[in-house]
Structure 1
Amino acid sequence: MVRADNRLTADDWADTALEALESGGLAAVAVEPLARRLGATKGSFYWHFKNRDALIEAAVLTWERRGTEEVIAAIEAAPTDDPAERLRRLFERVIEHGTTHRIEMALASSADHPLIAPVLERIGKRRIDYVAELFVAAGLSPEPARGRAVICVSVYYGMTHLAHIAPDALPRTRAERRALVDATIEGLLA
Structure 2
Amino acid sequence: MSSRTNLTREDWIHAAQEVLVTSGVDAVRVDTLAKELKITRGSFYYHFKSRGELLEGILGNWRARATEDVILHLRNAHSSPLQQLQRLLELPSHGQTAKDAASIELGIRGWARRDKQARQAIDEVDSHRLSYIEGLLIQAGVPSGDAQDRAYLIYAYQISLSLLHSEDTPQQRLERSQRMAGILIPESCTLPA
Q: Is TM (by shorter chain) over 0.5? A: yes
Given residue 133 of structure 2, which amino acid in structure 1 is its aligned partner? Answer: V
Per-residue deviation, residues 151-184 of structure 1 (Å, max 9, x unmatched): 1111111111113xxx35xxx0222222221222
Per-residue deviation, residues 17-42 of structure 1 (Å, max 9, x unmatched): 11211222112211111112222211
Given residue 111 of structure 2, which amino acid in structure 1 is its aligned partner? Answer: S
Query: Which residue of 104, 110, 117 maps to 1:115?
Result: 117
Contact 1:64–1:123, Cα closer than 8 Å, also in 2: yes
Q: Does 1:177 align with 2:181?
A: no
SS at the partner of 1:6?
Answer: helix
Contact 1:95–1:160, Cα closer than 8 Å, also in 2: no
Work out the percentage of aligned pairs sharing the same amino acid.
29
Q: Which stretch shows the higher mean deviation, 64-73 or 6-15? A: 6-15
Contact 1:98–1:104, Cα closer than 8 Å, also in 2: no
Partner residue of 1:36?
A: 35
What is the number of equivalent residue pairs in this alignment?
182
Per-residue deviation, residues 111-136 of structure 1 (Å, max 9, x unmatched): 13122111111111111011111111
Q: How does 1:56-71 map to 2 (within 5 A)?
A: 56-71=55-70
Query: Which residue of 155, 168, 187 maps to 2:183?
Result: 187
Given residue 147 of structure 2, which amino acid in structure 1 is its aligned partner? Answer: A
Counterpart Cα distance in 2 of 1:108 and 1:9: 26
Given residue 128 of structure 2, which amino acid in structure 1 is its aligned partner? Answer: R
Given residue 174 of structure 2, which amino acid in structure 1 is its aligned partner? Answer: R
What runs of 5+ residues in structure 2 fail to find an aligned partner?
187-193
Contact 1:20–1:28, Cα closer than 8 Å, also in 2: yes
Q: Which stretch shows the higher mean deviation, 7-16 or 95-104? A: 95-104
Q: Which stretch shows the higher mean deviation, 7-16 or 55-64? A: 7-16
What runs of 5+ residues in structure 1 fail to find an aligned partner?
none
SS at the partner of 1:115?
Answer: helix
Partner residue of 1:127?
A: 129
Is the alpha carbon distance of 1:49 and 1:153 closer, same or farther for their aligned partners in structure 2, counting shifts above 3 Å?
same
SS at the partner of 2:117?
Answer: coil
Counterpart Cα distance in 2 of 1:131 and 1:59: 24
Given residue 106 of structure 2, which amino acid in structure 1 is its aligned partner? Answer: M
Counterpart Cα distance in 1 of 2:84 and 2:140: 10
Given residue 176 of structure 1, which amino acid in structure 2 is its aligned partner? Answer: Q
Given residue 185 of structure 1, which amino acid in structure 2 is its aligned partner? Answer: A
Counterpart Cα distance in 2 of 1:126 and 1:120: 10
Counterpart Cα distance in 1 of 2:26 and 2:98: 22
Contact 1:98–1:156, Cα closer than 8 Å, also in 2: no
Partner residue of 1:53?
A: 52
Contact 2:93–2:170, Cα closer than 8 Å, also in 1: no
**Segments of 4+ moved more than 3 angstroms:** 94-101
